Amino acid sequence: MNISAFKDVASQFPVIFFDSYGVLRNHRGPIPGALETVSVLRASGKHIRILTNNAARSPEAAAARLADYGLRGISSAEVITSGATTRHFLEQKVKGGKVAYLGTPASAEYIIGAGLDAIPISDVDFERLDEIKAVAFLDDEGYDKNVDINLLINILRRCQVPVVVANTDLLYPTTANDVALATGSIARLAEYVLGRKFVKFGKPASQMFQMALDSVAVEMPSVCPADILMVGDTLHTDILGGNTYGVATALVLSGNTRPESAATEIAASGIIPDYVCHSIGK
């Protein structure tokens, strides 16, 4: 497995798509060297977008969060969230009514932004299930996993409505060494036991990549996938999504994929990045 210097890789592309957690920052703060790298890319005229499988925050809140970590100058227009693609689907496909959700009240703003009523799974009235027009998996937090997942299963046994998954990540980090089941894992479990297929957003699905490309096209009308480098720390979301969409991919070993296991994980998954870098700071 060849390791490339990130600055040499990035110099080949006018557009850089970054994942957020594990690439730009982690639970301790910015990834070492990330602030300097982003500043250099900005100064050289690169177009930057942040693609995050995070439906817990609006693009405005996500940009503010990055600023809190020192990554200032990233506007909300440069942040593409899985929640935004979910909101677009709800706007187009669900015409009025209530959407029951798993997640935090903040994540429910994507439902409200689509002109719909948001109701936590725990508040659903089983005598009025006809009012539920869709169900959404939004965030890893904000509900009782011992109670609400069972409620969700029983609601979906009775309701044949669209089910959307705003975050397909299977795990999320809780400490430097530990993880917990993410919303994507719960959605997969529900699909399996119910024998249903849900509508999924976020990487590796293509909608987020297309939304990001469309955003860049406002500034760079000639942009095409060959101009873009997707930088991520997770094979099954960032790299698979980028490969499928047709952009170049760089796997960084500063997050979910660790240096000691990267070669084995790449070989076992069959998901091959175009480049492997220690981090965006190296």
Q: What is the pLDDT along the chain (282 residues), one digit of tens a residue?
A: 899 999 999 999 999 999 999 999 988 889 999 999 999 999 999 999 999 998 888 899 999 999 998 888 899 999 999 999 999 999 999 989 999 999 999 999 999 999 999 999 999 999 999 999 999 999 988 999 889 999 999 999 999 999 999 988 888 777 767 778 888 999 999 999 999 999 999 899 999 999 999 999 999 999 999 999 999 999 999 999 999 999 999 999 998 898 999 999 999 999 999 999 999 998
Q: Where are the domains of the chain?
A: 6-53+204-277, 85-200
Looking at residue 176, what is its pLDDT? Answer: 66
pTM, rounded to two decimals: 0.89
Distance separating alpha carbons of residues 41 and 37, to the nearest angstrom = 6
b/e sequence 200-238, b meaning 16+ C-beta within 10 Å: bbbbbbebbbebbbebbeeeeeebeeebbbbbbbbbbbb
135 neighbors 105 (Cβ within 8 angstroms): no
The residue among 217, 220, 197, 221 whose CA lies nearest residue 209 is 217
Distance separating alpha carbons of residues 93 and 74, to the nearest angstrom = 31
168 neighbors 133 (Cβ within 8 angstroms): no
* 201 CA to centre of own chain: 8
* H-helix or E-strand spanning residue 215: helix 206-219
Looking at residue 48, what is its pLDDT? Answer: 98
Looking at residue 72, what is its pLDDT? Answer: 86
| Identical fold between 6-53+204-277 and 85-200 | yes
The span from the first CA to the last CA of the chain, in angstroms, equals 16
Topology given in CATH for the domain delimited by 85-200: Rossmann fold (3.40.50)
Query: Is it true that domain 6-53+204-277 has CATH number 3.30.930.10?
Result: no
Distance separating alpha carbons of residues 234 and 257, to the nearest angstrom = 6
